Amino acid sequence: MDRILLVEDNKVVSKTIEHHLIIHGFKVDCVFNAEDGLVEVNKHKYTAIVLDLNLPKMSGYSFIQILRKKSDIPIIINTAHASVKSRVKLINVGASDFIEKSMHPDEIVESIKIILEDRNKMKDKNKTFEFKDIVIDFTSRTVKKNDKTIDLTLKEIDILKTLLDNPNRAFSKKQIYLVVWGEEYSEFVDNTINVHIKRLRNKIEETPKKPEIIETVYAYGYRLGESVVDMLQKRIEQ
């Protein structure tokens, strides 16, 4: 059963959303502040998080920033108001969707279902990756370029798979290191990411100095190139 974490300080709103999620077959854990939400994330495996922005003490924005250092759980923002500027900011730090509090709770259910459906489709379709002359089979962990087998290290494959499973998200170096290496990032390992990305580009990019598959996000990290994202989106829609 899919398990949802609901972080909402208004107990009436929390109860209403919880009721609708349960009716639609979800198991729900409710907390009333961001601090308790972070505790629960460390204790359980969640399918998605429904998050209020205006929480006591720690804000919903800070919650997302902390959570994204260690997890890519889909986060749906449930808020009474969010300007375009704040939405862009939240998307950049890892929010998945927005629902106005004035909307019916079933809108949250529908958002969760759509996000999970897209994510599952992406993971199924990304068992293999084909782009121009590159073919990667993530099941057998084999890579071919121009029909010739090339060697990628396990870490290089894991970096690429992480980006492919999250095509609309930019990853900081810290996030990549945490996801792929499973360890806390420090300035001493900063060059580790740079070296792995450079080697990966040299192996899979048609023109490594003008990469199409793995783009650099200035002063932040890396993301998939626009042409690759467009290709993956078309695969989802097929």
Q: Which residues of the chain have pLDDT under 50?
A: none
Residues 93 and 134 in one domain: no
Domain end call among 117, 141, 168: 117
Residues 180 and 87 in one domain: no
Concatenated DSSP letters for 12-71?
A: HHHHHHHHHHHHTT-EEEEESSHHHHHHHHHHS--SEEEE-SS-SSS-HHHHHHHHTTT-
Domain end call among 117, 144, 177: 117
Q: What CATH number does the domain containing 40 carry? A: 3.40.50.2300
Question: For the whole model, what pTM was predicted?
Answer: 0.53
Question: For residue 141, what is the DSSP state?
Answer: T
Residues 144 and 203 in one domain: yes
60-98 burial by CB neighbour count: b if 16+ within 10 A, else e? bbebbeebbebbbbbbbbbbeebeeebeeebeebbbbbb
Residues 108 and 27 in one domain: yes
Instruction: Tell me the angle at which helices 226-237 and 106-125 cross, rounded to the nearest 10 degrees.
Output: 110
Residues 105 and 131 in one domain: no
Residues 17 and 92 in one domain: yes
Domain end call among 117, 148, 166: 117
List the one residue out of 120, 156, 108, 151 whose CA is nearest residue 5.
108
Domain hosting 69: range is: 3-117
Residues 231 and 151 in one domain: yes
Q: What CATH number does the domain containing 191 carry? A: 1.10.10.10
Residues in the chain: 238
- Total domains, the chain: 2
